[in-house]
Amino acid sequence: MQCSWKSVVLLALASIAIQYTAIRTFSPKPVSLLCSVGLAPAGHPANCTVRDLTRLGQGTVSEQGCDEILTNTPPFSSAAAPSHHAQKRTHIIILATTRSGSSFVGQLFNQHPEVFYLFEPLYHVQLALLPRLAQSRNMAERRVMLGAARDLLRSLYHCRLNSLESYIRPRPANHSTDKLFRRGASRSLCSPPACEAALGPEGQSLVLADEGECVRRCGPLNVSLAIDACRAKRHTAIKTVRIPQVSDLRALIEDPKLNLKVVQLVRDPRGILASRIETFRDTYRLWRLWRATGRRPHNLDLGQINTVCEDFLRSVSTGLSRPSWLRGRYLLLRYEDLARFPLQKTRELYSFLDLVLDQSVEDWILNNTRGSRDLSSRQKFTTVRDSAANAENWRVKLTFDMVVYTQTACQQLLDVLGYKTVYHARELRNLSHSLVEDRTFLPFS
């Protein structure tokens, strides 16, 4: 006997009606019944309500607690009152390498009142899994590091900052620690509720002057309060120099729950080398000896700059090839462009992220891109500097031989990113002629 399509539809509707009647018979609050029989996750209160399910449309109550879902899900009804928690969060990762200007870019988000910013949380993963894994060329070791890093990033973007406690040494007691790396670099962690000491006498939030003042006044960080601070913001931004290539983030980028966007920050490798020589004096001691004597030490670790160029080239080549999984989620940003045109490039950056550029960010840019050259030379990690002058000051800090070697090792990367090769020492020192080609790197959608 063959059933017509009308019969099938009628049978399905009848089945749904019977199941609905049964649920209503057993409980006046059917959603509470679902939670009470174990559909809420372990460790979360069964606090689902009819209103929750209405707002969720079709519930994913079995996967997340209602509170967390509602934080990231817009209201089902367009008439619902707007709130921070009802809007979809944008998650941002600044992908860079050491001494490429990533701290400066991080501040472009840290200064925004609706962004929760974390400075290098993957530092703790590196430290816990042995520092050598961070730059290891052994693929098995890199997979261990990257696997842990991806898991932690996923948790942090969902404001589960307690996941970080497993990597902090010594492990936090009662969710309190004074060992969070560069806690003072995050305004969110130096403001209420994460820091009650930043609350003024009339209840207003104070802006602490610098990282040191934050550490002194705020005391140990309560991770539970940091979670509250994260959930109070609309967006989350994380800066890291510990993910070598954008392809290492593919699983997170393709996760529809994350809405992750990548800002790939690059810099002329000759500028990176010059900055590292000045900043990491012990690690780059032999490079300093080469610069001082004019003779390259036979035991110099050339892999230090080779690794930078190899990782950059692979990552940038992936991004510029425009794979479908990066569509609308990848922006290539040259540090030199940002240093020369900070306001213009910041506006382009915020446009890519679909964020509103707050006036506080523009004010910060104006106040922090006109610093003196003397100040930037004395304070290696400051973001206050003459940014335009700083963009190519490596040209007076490296010898011509050092530049020639770096160009040879990184020639393909220089060509892709639009950095000019120099062929004579006088050309290197002629600062009136820029070595940065005019290039436009647009995101694709």
Structural domain includes residue 294: yes
Asked, as a colleague might, if the bond just before 193 is cis with ω within 30 of 0, I would say yes
Tokens 């610093």, residue?
371
3-class secondary structure for 39-69?
HCCCCCCCCCCHHHHHHHCCCCCCCCCHHHH
Q: What percent of the chain has pLDDT over 70?
A: 73
Exposure letters 8-29 (e unless 16+ CB within 10 A, then b): eeeeeeeeeeeeeeeeeeeeee
Structural domain includes residue 410: yes
pLDDT tens track for 315-371: 999 999 999 999 999 999 999 999 999 999 999 999 999 999 999 999 999 999 875
Structural domain includes residue 95: yes
pLDDT band at 201 (very low <50, low <70, confident <90, very high): confident
Q: In 3D, which of 181, 162, 298 has the Cα closest to residue 231? A: 162
What pLDDT, on the 0 to 100 scale, is given for residue 135? 54
Q: CA-CA distance, 273 to 443, in Å (whole number)? A: 28
What pLDDT, on the 0 to 100 scale, is given for residue 66? 38
What letter represents residue 96's amino acid? A
Structural domain includes residue 219: no
pLDDT tens track for 419-432: 999 999 999 999 99
What pLDDT, on the 0 to 100 scale, is given for residue 179? 95
Structural domain includes residue 64: no
Q: In 3D, which of 114, 81, 110 has the Cα closest to residue 94? A: 110
Residue 217, Cβ density class (10 Å: 0-12 exposed, 13-18 middle, ≥19 buried): middle
pLDDT tens track for 166-190: 999 999 999 999 999 999 999 999 9
Strand partners, 91: 236, 260
Strand partners, 436: 419
pLDDT tens track for 278-309: 999 999 999 999 999 999 999 998 888 999 99
Residue 281, Cβ density class (10 Å: 0-12 exposed, 13-18 middle, ≥19 buried): exposed
What pLDDT, on the 0 to 100 scale, is given for residue 34? 28
Other C-beta atoms within 10 Å of 289: how many?
14
255: left (phi over 0), alpha (psi -120 to 50) or beta: beta
pLDDT at residue 30 tops 50? no
Residue ranges making up the domain that contains 325:
91-114+237-445
pLDDT tens track for 366-417: 999 875 444 344 444 444 456 677 899 999 999 999 999 999 999 999 999 9
Residue 180, Cβ density class (10 Å: 0-12 exposed, 13-18 middle, ≥19 buried): buried
pLDDT tens track for 137-174: 667 777 888 999 999 999 999 999 999 999 999 999 99
Structural domain includes residue 137: no
Q: CA-CA distance, 66 to 49, in Å (whole number)? A: 9
pLDDT at residue 21 tops 90? no
pLDDT top residue among 214 and 52: 214
What pLDDT, on the 0 to 100 scale, is given for residue 157? 98
Exposure letters 383-422 (e unless 16+ CB within 10 A, then b): bebbbeebbbbbbeebbbebbbbbbebbeebbebbbbeeb
- DSSP at 206: P
Structural domain includes residue 245: yes
Question: Is residue 125 a contact partner of residue 242, using CB atoms and an 8 Å limit?
Answer: yes
Residues in the chain: 445
pLDDT at residue 46 tops 50? no
pLDDT at residue 111 tops 60? yes
Question: Is residue 44 a contact partner of residue 61, using CB atoms and an 8 Å limit?
Answer: no
Distance in Å from the first CA to the final CA of the chain: 52
Structural domain includes residue 178: no
Q: What is the CATH number of the domain that holds 271?
A: 3.40.50.300
Mean local confidence (pLDDT), 56-62: 35
pLDDT top residue among 47 and 206: 206
Residue 206, Cβ density class (10 Å: 0-12 exposed, 13-18 middle, ≥19 buried): middle
What pLDDT, on the 0 to 100 scale, is given for residue 70? 32
What pLDDT, on the 0 to 100 scale, is given for residue 280? 94
Number of domains in the chain: 1
57: left (phi over 0), alpha (psi -120 to 50) or beta: left
